[in-house]
Amino acid sequence: MMMRKLTASLLSVGVMFMSVHAFAANEPIQPIKPVKPENAAMVELGKMLFFDTRLSKSGFISCNSCHNLSMGGTDNLKTSIGHKWQQGPINAPTVLNASMNLAQFWDGRAKDLKEQAGGPIANPGEMAFAHDKVVAMLNTIPQYKDQFKKAFNSDKIDIDGVTTAIAAFEETLVTPGSRFDKWLEGDKEALTKAESDGYALFKSAGCTKCHNGPAVGGNSFEKMGVYKPYETESPAIGRMDVTGKEEDRFVFKVPTLRNVELTYPYFHDGGASTLEEAVDIMGRLQVNREFNKEEIANIVAFLKTLTGKQPDFKLPILPPSTNETHRYEPFD
């Protein structure tokens, strides 16, 4: 009797387990897996650097200024504010789940997070500093020297180490545990009817052609404005800037839709301020479909189930400058 019960319950667990896996495997979107960092000291170093305003010419702007981890890894502005309040050319993409992107920046000009991290530091319109000055700064701060030693087992600090550490930290910024992932993993109660209807429509309308995989995007370049041109004042031409090919004009990396409720405004120019607007425009331009109000509401309801576990760590405390450290003069 006992044996039979045990066998039966083992069997039912087995069936449940199989059905969950079979279920998720058939979907165009997969759950996000938590990340276990290999080198904790490097992640800690990267976190400090990510929050350190001394990586900018002014001493005021850090990576976190535009990829604010309190705000979905973005600045929630159409385009970002750079050195001396310069207007950035493009919407800051979220750093959350960015490790899953096939390349970095909207035009994919950096092959990975490490290559990306060096960009804004030296970009005159962003942090406006210089790689050698960052390295010189870090070399005057004993606590940073210790942390580099722990992370790299070497006494040398160079920009390669800086960007490697920032990338290692950013790789931890994945957001598992969303309601949609719970649903994918078999918890059918995790979504409301409107939300699952929204997902069904999201698939049937063809949105998952581009927005798929664990990041619900980030894994292809696509033209913005397939059926109708996208109206914008933004001069950004996308991937053509990288390849020089006319066919890549207005081709951009498909953004992740993970945490999209938090990453407003939308598109490369921040031109859509609400999810409803974004879904409406995407429908007409990308899949040649005019969603009605209820359809839009359902898709938006689905999109809001993609919000996962946000960054969960203590505010980093930065080591103080020493007498040898560069003093920042933001108004010079």
The DSSP output letter for 173 is: -
Q: Is 320 in the site for a second copy (CB under 8 A)?
A: yes
Cα distance between residue 177 and residue 307, in whole Å? 8
48 is in an annotated binding site: no
66 is in an annotated binding site: yes
282 is in an annotated binding site: yes
- Nearest Cα neighbor of 311 from 273, 265, 269, 262 is 262
Cα distance between residue 241 and residue 231, in whole Å? 19
What 3-state DSSP class applies to 193? Answer: helix
Q: Is 235 in the site for a second copy (CB under 8 A)?
A: no
Residue 298 CB contacts under 8 Å (≥ 6 apart), including other chains = 194, 195, 197, 198, 201
Catalytic residue among 44, 126, 171, 195: 126
Instruction: Tell whether omega for the bond before 265 is within 30 degrees of 0, i.e. cis.
Output: yes
Of 1-9, 54-62, 197-205, 222-230, the window that binds a second copy (rule: CB under 8 A) is 54-62
Site size with a second copy, rule: CB under 8 A: 44
Q: Is 327 in the site for a second copy (CB under 8 A)?
A: yes
Q: Is 311 in the site for a second copy (CB under 8 A)?
A: yes
Residue 203 CB contacts under 8 Å (≥ 6 apart), including other chains = 28
> What's phi and psi for 129, nearest 5 deg?
-100, -160
Structure tokens at 331: 């108004």
Strands (DSSP E) contained in 190-308 are 221-223, 251-253
Q: Is 78 in the site for a second copy (CB under 8 A)?
A: yes
Cβ–Cβ under 8 Å, residues 91 and 99: no
Site string for a second copy, 138-177 (x = CB under 8 A): ----------------------------------------
**What's at 82, amino acid-wise?**
G
| Active-site residue, 126 included | yes
Q: Which of 30, 39, 68, 123 binds a second copy (CB under 8 A)?
A: 68
**What's at 100, amino acid-wise?**
M
For the CB of residue 271, give the shortest distance to a second copy in the complex, in Å.
12
Q: Which of 29, 46, 58, 164 binds a second copy (CB under 8 A)?
A: 58
Q: Is 318 in the site for a second copy (CB under 8 A)?
A: yes
Scanning residues 247 to 266, which ones bind a second copy (CB under 8 A)?
261-262, 264-265
Can you give the binding site for a second copy, defined by CB under 8 A?
A: 51-53, 58-60, 65, 68-72, 75-78, 81, 84-85, 87, 261-262, 264-265, 273-274, 276, 310-318, 320-321, 323, 327-331
Active site residues: 126
In the annotated binding site for heme c, the residues are 63, 66-67, 83, 207, 210-211, 282
For the annotated binding site, the residues are 63, 66-67, 83, 207, 210-211, 282
